[in-house]
Amino acid sequence: MKSYLEGCGVPTAPIGAVEVPRLIMGIHPYDGCSYQHPERDAENFARFSRVDRVTEVLRCAVEEAGITAAQIDHMLPELDRLHLQAVWETQQQLQQQIGLVAYIFIPINLDGEQVSYSPRAHATLYAHGERMAGQAFRDKMASDAIIRYNIGGDPNNLVTPATVVPYTEEEAARFEIDYPVLEQYLGFFAGCDILIADPGAEIDLLAATGRFDLIRDYVGFLRGRFETVITSVHHAGLTIPRLEEENIDVDGYLTTVNSPGTFMLPTQELALDAIRSASKPIIAIKPMAGGRFLGEQAFDYVFNEVGVSASMFGMGTLEQVRQTTGAARTVLGLN
């Protein structure tokens, strides 16, 4: 079997101890997520509930575009297991390794209860966003297309400090990482050859509340198992500068970058300042703003205007694979 580098048909960039293809297949929409609307999510769930349909798309991306890296996840076990099976079958059919970027949820507990994505966690991050950007942040949260998707299209569902009490400093001091549960999550990837470990954007909550001791502990825990460790970040303008100031030992950041500024928090301007000032490589996600900013313009922005090291993006059909990878390869000078 050829290694992911032997079969790679796109340029690579160094991140930590590895060379990473500059184009990486995302997990969406194979886990159902469309970033569009519930009807599209249901279509995705139905379409990708069969391994052969996922394998067909993955195989096209590898054979026709030379993309030999893919994100894998464990958050939605039913479809994520199908996706792992499809990755394995694609590798066997093509005798081609696919380098895997594993998203790993970080379970944060408070007094025995998991709080990583609790309403109070969202309220806490909202409060910090308000402190940084004021009305610009409030406007962003009320109008952002992906945030509106996440809250079911109803702005009344938005969690703010006015509706939910943020965590206090004393409560944040009692946060803990649930390592037995984290070990269970890692077990989901048993047998996989992980290229990059990517602890989740729960880091935003820990950075906002100053729990860098917990961040250092779990990054060290993952470094005992994986050669290269990056971290996902959803609130780039808030979190990346704090991680840099604290000299947190990660090899890069995976965060949203797109021209419309969709889901770039607290504001696009603050996120871009943090991304451009970062001392570590950036892997851009959502370059097409959740399917709202397509074609060469999307990749020209992330690679040439912002200067990211790599970009991760989703493709659901053969037509989308050919259109999207064709646009990305053109921007990288391959077509």
Task: Indicate the domain borders of the chain.
Answer: 12-110+179-331
The Cα–Cα gap between 19 and 12 comes to 6
Closest CA relative to residue 217, chosen from 191, 165, 182: 182
Q: Is pLDDT at 51 greater than 70 in this prediction?
A: yes
Listed range (26-40, 188-202, 207-221, 279-293) with the worst mean pLDDT:
26-40
pLDDT at site 34: 65
Q: The pTM is what?
A: 0.95
Q: Is pLDDT at 91 greater than 70 in this prediction?
A: yes
CATH architecture, range 12-110+179-331: Alpha-Beta Barrel (3.20)
- Three-state SS string over 20-62 comes to EECEEECCCCCCCCCCCCHHHHHHHHHHCCCHHHHHHHHHHHH
Q: Is pLDDT at 43 greater than 80 in this prediction?
A: no
pLDDT at site 228: 97
Closest CA relative to residue 44, chosen from 283, 308, 290: 290
> Please, what is the average pLDDT of the chain?
93
Please answer whether residues 129 and 265 qualify as being in contact, where contact means their C-beta atoms are separated by less than 8 angstroms.
yes
Q: Residues, the chain, total?
A: 335
Q: Is pLDDT at 168 greater than 80 in this prediction?
A: yes
For residue 166, the 8-state DSSP code is P
